[in-house]
């Protein structure tokens, strides 16, 4: 047997299994109330409509749907996405849209596109765990941008750019994962301006923008991107279903062909069948009403979790109040070790994600990410009661 360890690429030395994936294995047991995963509510999946769309695709264009397809994606779906981008305040042509296997693949592709070992990526602090993982695969170094309740603070950027010469800034402006925080409109405009002035590439990751349940929509950073600095990624994972693995990227013209080469090398193309099913679903079902149902349910679930936390958590704990998305972020007392708390919590059959792994640098032991989209209101109340009891005993 070969000495696999000795033969592994250098990049494997710094890669660790995702804590979330490990936790999810434990929390898959039905008796555990899990606030851990980033899972949408399965009872809200549009099962009947997607089933009807799949039937229609198979009976009308079955052979095409099961054949290889273009790497760019299924053109009618790209056109639909381009129109959708218009609704989000971004002028895009179907030719600018590359269909991907979820937005996670966009992170993989942009990592390959830009990063050599040791290159710097600017991120919010904390940031999305699997983005850290994707860029770590390319041996990136992370430099966090100071962040507050309105998202990252653009004033820091000129100094950080001068000092670290980053390859790009990765940001999640809407209902960020893990904090639920939204980047304020004036900061988005400022971010786009600074990026233009300093030649900074921005990766704007927007999986949650359509899931706003209070407040008013804010256009993406790309809306203000006159200089062509922003690569925008989004997904159908939260608005249709993540199992379809359908996302997209809108890239400035000069980069599209490069991304396309990487996409081809990676997997040739995203599933022809899934793309056609999604297209038929989007154009022949009431997708808008479906998103409205999701928004209402998540807004209600956030309200239930917020009220339960107010009732159950001892003093010294605070949490964010997101206006959309699927997560809130709890800050505990400085001495809290949320990883240790998790082992006691699992014994009481409730789970969350400890904050530590969302920080690309040091710190972060006294935070927890709680998901509110995947549990019913009853289970949210019950789970927060168990969590609160544990925190009161610390
Ligand atoms: C910020 C962020 N980016 C990307 C993704 C990946 O989503 P997808 O299912 O589209 O790959 C997620 C999933 O939770 C996410 O939270």
Q: Is 205 in the pocket of ligand 1 (CB under 6 A)?
A: yes
Q: Is 147 in the pocket of ligand 1 (CB under 6 A)?
A: no
Nearest CA to ligand 1 atom 8: 102
Helix (H) or strand (E) holding 132: helix 129-137
Strand partners, 147: 152
Return the pLDDT at 362.
Answer: 82
Q: Is 40 in the pocket of ligand 1 (CB under 6 A)?
A: no
Looking at residue 13, what DSSP letter applies? G
Q: Is 72 in the pocket of ligand 1 (CB under 6 A)?
A: no
Give the distance (Å) from ligand 1 centre to CA of residue 340: 27
Backbone phi, psi, residue 245, to 5°: 55, 55
Q: Are 244 and 282 in contact (CB under 8 A)?
A: no
Return the pLDDT at 1.
Answer: 87
- Locate the ligand 1 atom nearest the alpha carbon of residue 235 and give its number: 10
Model pTM score: 0.96
Q: Is 209 in the pocket of ligand 1 (CB under 6 A)?
A: no
Return the pLDDT at 391.
Answer: 95
Q: Is 182 in the pocket of ligand 1 (CB under 6 A)?
A: no
Q: Is 127 in the pocket of ligand 1 (CB under 6 A)?
A: no
Q: Are 318 and 310 in contact (CB under 8 A)?
A: no
- Locate the ligand 1 atom nearest the alpha carbon of residue 107 and give its number: 4
CB crowding 205-226: b at 16 or more within 10 Å, else e? bbbbbbbbbeeeebebbbbbbe
Contacts of 169 (CB under 8 A, 6+ apart): 121, 122, 123, 145, 157, 191, 195, 200, 201, 202, 203
Q: Is 247 in the pocket of ligand 1 (CB under 6 A)?
A: yes
Name residues of the chain where pLDDT drops below 70. Answer: 18-21
Return the pLDDT at 11.
Answer: 85
Nearest CA to ligand 1 atom 6: 104
């Amino acid at each position: 047997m070969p000495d696999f360890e000795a033969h592994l690429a250098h990049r494997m030395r710094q890669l660790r299994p995702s804590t979330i994936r490990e936790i999810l294995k434990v929390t898959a047991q039905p008796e555990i109330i899990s606030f851990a995963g980033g899972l949408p509510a399965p009872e809200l999946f549009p099962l009947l409509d997607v089933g009807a769309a799949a039937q229609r695709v198979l009976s009308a264009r079955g052979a095409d749907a099961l054949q290889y397809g273009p790497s760019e994606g299924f053109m009618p779906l790209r056109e639909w996405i381009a129109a959708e981008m218009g609704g989000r305040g971004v002028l895009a042509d179907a030719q600018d849209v590359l269909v991907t296997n979820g937005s996670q693949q966009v992170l993989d592709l942009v990592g390959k596109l830009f990063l050599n070992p040791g290159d710097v990526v600017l991120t919010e602090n904390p940031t999305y765990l699997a983005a850290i993982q994707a860029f770590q695969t390319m041996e990136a170094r992370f430099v966090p941008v100071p962040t507050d309740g309105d998202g990252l603070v653009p004033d820091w950027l000129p100094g950080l750019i001068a000092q670290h010469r980053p390859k790009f800034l990765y940001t999640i402006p809407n209902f960020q994962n893990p904090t639920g925080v939204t980047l304020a409109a004036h900061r988005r405009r400022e971010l786009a301006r600074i990026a233009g002035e300093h030649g900074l590439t921005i990766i704007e990751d927007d999986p949650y923008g359509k899931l706003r349940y209070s407040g008013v929509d804010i256009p993406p950073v790309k809306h203000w991107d006159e200089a062509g600095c922003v690569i925008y990624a989004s997904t159908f994972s939260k608005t249709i279903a993540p199992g379809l693995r359908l996302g997209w990227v809108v890239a400035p013209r000069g980069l599209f062909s490069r991304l396309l080469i990487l996409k081809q090398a990676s997997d040739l193309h995203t599933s022809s069948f899934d793309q056609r099913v999604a297209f038929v679903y989007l154009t022949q079902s009431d997708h808008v009403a479906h998103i409205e149902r999701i928004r209402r349910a998540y807004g209600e679930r956030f309200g239930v979790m917020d009220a339960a936390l107010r009732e159950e958590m001892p003093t010294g704990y605070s949490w964010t109040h997101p206006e959309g998305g699927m997560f809130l972020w709890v800050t505990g007392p400085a001495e809290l070790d949320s990883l240790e708390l998790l082992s006691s919590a699992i014994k009481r059959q409730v789970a969350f994600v400890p904050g530590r792994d969302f920080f690309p640098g040091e710190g972060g032991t006294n935070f927890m990410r709680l998901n509110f989209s995947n549990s019913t209101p009853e289970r949210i109340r019950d789970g927060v009661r168990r969590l609160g009891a544990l925190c009161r005993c610390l």
